[in-house]
Structure 1
Amino acid sequence: MQTKIAANAHAMKRWLGKAEVILGNHSDRLNAINIFPVADGDTGTNLYLTVRAAVAALGGTATDAAETGNDVGALLSRAGQAAMEQARGNSGTLFAVFLCAAAEPLVGKSRLSAPLLATALNRAQIRAWSALSEPVAGTMLSVLEAAAHAAQAVDASQSGDDSNHALGLSLDAVVDAAYQAVVRTEDELAQLHEARVVDAGGVGMLLVLDCLRSAVLGEELQDELLDGLHGYQLQDPHIHEHMPADDGVEVMCTINLSPLNAAILRQRLDEMGESVIMSQVGGAQGNDDDDDEPGVEVSYRWRVHVHVPDPEPAVALIRSLGEPTDIAVSQLAIPRENGQETAAGEASGRESESTNAATNVPGQSRHEF
């Protein structure tokens, strides 16, 4: 069994750092098998850039570090808020939702334990499923759900034991369950089954969870987890090579909204487009104390994501309900004029090369409103 387990705030920081590197190194391969919800080939890039934002938030001043101290939840919450503010795409947004939600039951705790891991993962998978207007099995959501159930099963079998031994058992079970869930994605979604690939976002979440296991248990990442996953062999071509281009754009922004306006926005975006994700960024703002000041409405900060045929109506709708920040529009279609390149698998293990690969991937042209 594991000989040296570290589950404190420093280990959580190490976890996110590992995830940044591994997602950077695997971004090309994840992009190559990304065909759901749209074949826009950017899941790896989106996950990498979102995790990078989380890691950057933890590299602040000594004062910033003092604010979180040894508080595992406070550290992850800070990283999660930064990830949410800069989340990219479906996969990046769902990762940010996962991180923010997992942090909540850990606030005030100095170390992760098996019972806390079970609670955190359960909170995260519920929040991720509810963030999407139309959640679909066979995706990151299924992988998160399987991981949460595995952690709960171990916690129950160990009768709530908060020892390092129980935590090690739980992390092993979580990663194994996530792997099995990734394998199942190919048969859960018709698009994946037809293309004979597993879900890219699911693989990304598997890598993130294995990074958590590695950081806490002091063990190497389990590279063999990727062996045999359909479509993941480095010599395989880019899966989008013979697929028709996707029309439309991805619109993302952050905006303060009352609960009523948030519900209105979600409903109208559902009518306009697809892949609607809305998740809170932080707590209530406005009249959230006991001042009872009349006329001041409680609002929340929201991260908004949607795929639409035309950005203008969506942007106009968003602006009619509030004052958004960081409105970004990205084309869903992958540029095909130069052909698709195969994955840069040879960059694996070299962080500088992975960073370049992740930030210069087709389909990432964006412009701000």
Structure 2
Amino acid sequence: MPEVLDASSVRTWCALALEALGRTRTQIDAINVFPVADGDTGTNLYLTVESAAQAVEAVWAAYGEREPAFGDVMHAMAHGALLGARGNSGTILAQLLRGMAAGCADGIPADGRWLGEALRRAAPAAREAVAHPVEGTMLSVAAGAAGAAGPAGPDSDPDPAPAAVARAAHAGAREALAATPGQLAALAEAGVVDAGGSGLVTVLGALADALDGGGSALRLIPVAAPAASAVTSTAASAARAASDGDPHTAHGGPAYEVVYLLDADATAVRRLRERLDALGDSLVVSGGDGLWRVHVHVDDPGAALEAGTEAGRPHRIQVTHFCGGSPKAEAPREGRAVVLVVPGQGLARLCTEAGATTVLAATGEPPASGEIAAALAATGAREVVLLPNDTALRHAAAIAVEQARTAGVRVALIPTRAAVQGLAALAVHEPQRRFDEDVVAMTAAAGATRYAELLLAEERSWTSAGICERGDVLGLIEGDVAVIGAELAGTAADVLDRMLASGGELVTLVLGPAAPAGLGEALRKHVRQHHLAVDTVVYEGGQQPAPLLIGVE
């Protein structure tokens, strides 16, 4: 067993937590009655931890063969959870992880004493993020875990092992979870414990397993009820229980859940809290250092988004309708839809005008599987075609597809690798065709489109085309550097000539904000002069950081 927490133990913790929540999320969903009986707490926690795990893996990949610093991995876990936090429970978990990571510093060993202090720091940080804390919830379970960790570790041991602290925290969390029905009437009436607290017990059990080299898999299973008897409440009785006079409940409460990331300073966020608290309930604002996750239940989602816009820059916006406070009832699905992941607002508008649904992939923030799955579900269509437009999204897209298929949606995943391939596929989409025929036609169009992008080199480095210097223009064809140039227009023309040497009928140019004025027209003229019978279309894509994307069909 490790004497201190390190990067490897955090990585293992993420993997075990994700695996455990994957096994138990349906159980947790089934006991979700507070604050809204919408049966998604387990799923929200799973998606939040999935995002945290992806961020941790990204740090390991960046370090190459070296093991990352513990602080870097711990901060990445917290930051990833914040980016991917879903629902009330995910937002609180992200704040708990942020509270733990706040104590990471060079020269401070992450031993058992550190872990105890981290848990005691995290619990009040999460409580402060909630506008109106309620006992008998995930906050109570976090407090139970922190208290059990003790001021100097389990049983007042002055030098406890991290595994001992984690086991004590897990035991304290289980004890606090079992007490939640006595603290919250909605839980007692439904005969269940708090769903968010149950998920936190699972996450802490994974931490204990990560630190003691395995341990009992039973502790990864959330407590489903305060007694050994099975949970027999139906979704309807759970909804009635949740409506028992509490202002933070589903039945008779606000109709929408609004969640978004927000770039803003702390002063603006304080004002935002006051405004959102007046608009609705279940308000949780986690984060800090300029990036926040906002979660609130409101009747007017437009007002909640407007408040965010006045405070800063909201993005990754999610709006969910609670269907009048009852458990979510799926309307009959019909028709066909196309969902694309796109790297810029201009491309999103272009695809939306063509009738598609888009997921925006902001710079440095690739969408998690939950965000893609939500877009698939939001179409309301019986048949959906998904175009991820990025090889890095292959795993997330596959998970999203499986989630949608579980909900009864027929989904085809076309493995597009670039936005221009997605545009080509969308251009031949015909919803009146049979589904299989439409998918084949779209796949063929995407496959027949070669793609390239122009980027600026950030540092001197080796490439497949030779050595580049900082500031050089790199022309990447199919992901590999093919051209190194001094200025954008000439390098782009060289890339076009190479791509059109093997033929082509249509060139698509997608300009980013960094593209100089007149670039599109200059390249259109170049194609017209040097490549007869080739048409060119130009779009303002809004993507970052590439000033130019190129497609050749």
TM over 0.5: yes
CA, structure 1 residues 67+327, in 2 after alignment: closer, same or farther (shift >3 Å)?
A: farther
Following TM superposition, by how much is the alpha carbon of 1:226 offset from its aligned partner in structure 2, in angstroms?
5.0
> Quick one: which of 201, 210, 218 aligns to 1:215?
210
Contact 2:141–2:197 (Cα < 8 Å) also in 1 = yes
Q: Which residue of 1 aligns with 2:285?
A: 278
1:100 maps to 2:98 = yes
Q: Which residue of 2 aligns with 1:264?
A: 271
Whole-angstrom distance in 2 between the partners of 1:331 and 1:204:
23
1:129 maps to 2:127 = yes
Contact 1:68–1:74 (Cα < 8 Å) also in 2 = no
RMSD: 3.1
Following TM superposition, by how much is the alpha carbon of 1:70 offset from its aligned partner in structure 2, in angstroms?
4.3
In the TM superposition, what are the counterparts of 1:223-234 in structure 2 within 5 Å?
223=218, 229-230=224-225
Q: Which residue of 2 aligns with 1:201?
A: 196
CA, structure 1 residues 241+10, in 2 after alignment: closer, same or farther (shift >3 Å)?
A: same
Q: Which residue of 2 aligns with 1:366?
A: none
Whole-angstrom distance in 2 between the partners of 1:86 and 1:129:
20
Contact 2:48–2:84 (Cα < 8 Å) also in 1 = yes
1:20 maps to 2:10 = no
Which shifted more, 218-227 or 32-41? 218-227
Q: Secondary structure, in 3 states, of the residue corresponding to 1:55?
A: helix
Could you say which structure has the higher helix fraction? Answer: 1
Normalization by structure 1: what TM-score?
A: 0.79
> Quick one: which of 283, 291, 296 aligns to 1:301?
291
CA, structure 1 residues 219+202, in 2 after alignment: closer, same or farther (shift >3 Å)?
A: same
The amino acid that maps onto 2:112 is A
Partner deviation per Cα, 1:248-275 (whole Å, 9 max, x = no partner): 1111111222333211110010011001
CA, structure 1 residues 316+227, in 2 after alignment: closer, same or farther (shift >3 Å)?
A: closer
Contact 1:50–1:86 (Cα < 8 Å) also in 2 = yes
* Equivalenced residues, count: 326
Following TM superposition, by how much is the alpha carbon of 1:171 offset from its aligned partner in structure 2, in angstroms?
2.1
1:314 maps to 2:281 = no
Normalization by structure 2: what TM-score?
A: 0.54
Contact 2:285–2:293 (Cα < 8 Å) also in 1 = yes
Partner deviation per Cα, 1:23-73 (whole Å, 9 max, x = no partner): 111111101101111111110010000000010112227662369944222
1:35 maps to 2:25 = no
Whole-angstrom distance in 2 between the partners of 1:264 and 1:227:
37
1:167 maps to 2:165 = no
Partner deviation per Cα, 1:203-243 (whole Å, 9 max, x = no partner): 10001001000011012344167587418989756742443
The amino acid that maps onto 2:270 is A
Whole-angstrom distance in 2 between the partners of 1:234 and 1:22:
22
The amino acid that maps onto 1:33 is I
Q: Which residue of 2 aligns with 1:249?
A: 256
Whole-angstrom distance in 1 between the partners of 2:59 and 2:174:
37
Q: Which residue of 1 aligns with 2:328?
A: 335
Q: Secondary structure, in 3 states, of the residue corresponding to 1:278?
A: strand
Could you say which structure has the higher strand fraction? Answer: 2
CA, structure 1 residues 186+301, in 2 after alignment: closer, same or farther (shift >3 Å)?
A: same
Q: Larger RCO: Structure 1 or Structure 2 (Cα < 8 Å, ≥ 6 residues apart)?
A: 1
Contact 1:13–1:55 (Cα < 8 Å) also in 2 = yes
CA, structure 1 residues 186+330, in 2 after alignment: closer, same or farther (shift >3 Å)?
A: same
> Quick one: which of 307, 321, 326 aligns to 2:316?
326
Q: Secondary structure, in 3 states, of the residue corresponding to 1:252?
A: strand
Q: Secondary structure, in 3 states, of the residue corresponding to 2:317?
A: strand
Q: Secondary structure, in 3 states, of the residue corresponding to 1:37?
A: coil
CA, structure 1 residues 336+156, in 2 after alignment: closer, same or farther (shift >3 Å)?
A: closer
CA, structure 1 residues 157+231, in 2 after alignment: closer, same or farther (shift >3 Å)?
A: closer
Whole-angstrom distance in 2 between the partners of 1:259 and 1:22:
35
Whole-angstrom distance in 2 between the partners of 1:212 and 1:358:
27
Contact 2:27–2:224 (Cα < 8 Å) also in 1 = no
Contact 1:29–1:234 (Cα < 8 Å) also in 2 = no
Following TM superposition, by how much is the alpha carbon of 1:97 offset from its aligned partner in structure 2, in angstroms?
0.8
Following TM superposition, by how much is the alpha carbon of 1:126 offset from its aligned partner in structure 2, in angstroms?
1.2
Whole-angstrom distance in 1 between the partners of 2:56 and 2:220:
29
Please list every run of 5 or more consecutive structure 2 residues that lacks an aligned counterpart in the other structure: 241-249, 333-398, 408-553
Following TM superposition, by how much is the alpha carbon of 1:79 offset from its aligned partner in structure 2, in angstroms?
1.6
Whole-angstrom distance in 2 between the partners of 1:225 and 1:234:
19
Q: Secondary structure, in 3 states, of the residue corresponding to 1:261?
A: helix
CA, structure 1 residues 68+153, in 2 after alignment: closer, same or farther (shift >3 Å)?
A: farther
Contact 1:8–1:111 (Cα < 8 Å) also in 2 = no
Identity of aligned residues (%): 33
Following TM superposition, by how much is the alpha carbon of 1:322 offset from its aligned partner in structure 2, in angstroms?
2.2
Which shifted more, 199-208 or 224-233? 224-233
Whole-angstrom distance in 1 between the partners of 2:229 and 2:57:
33
Following TM superposition, by how much is the alpha carbon of 1:336 offset from its aligned partner in structure 2, in angstroms?
2.9
Contact 2:2–2:162 (Cα < 8 Å) also in 1 = no
Q: Secondary structure, in 3 states, of the residue corresponding to 2:80?
A: helix
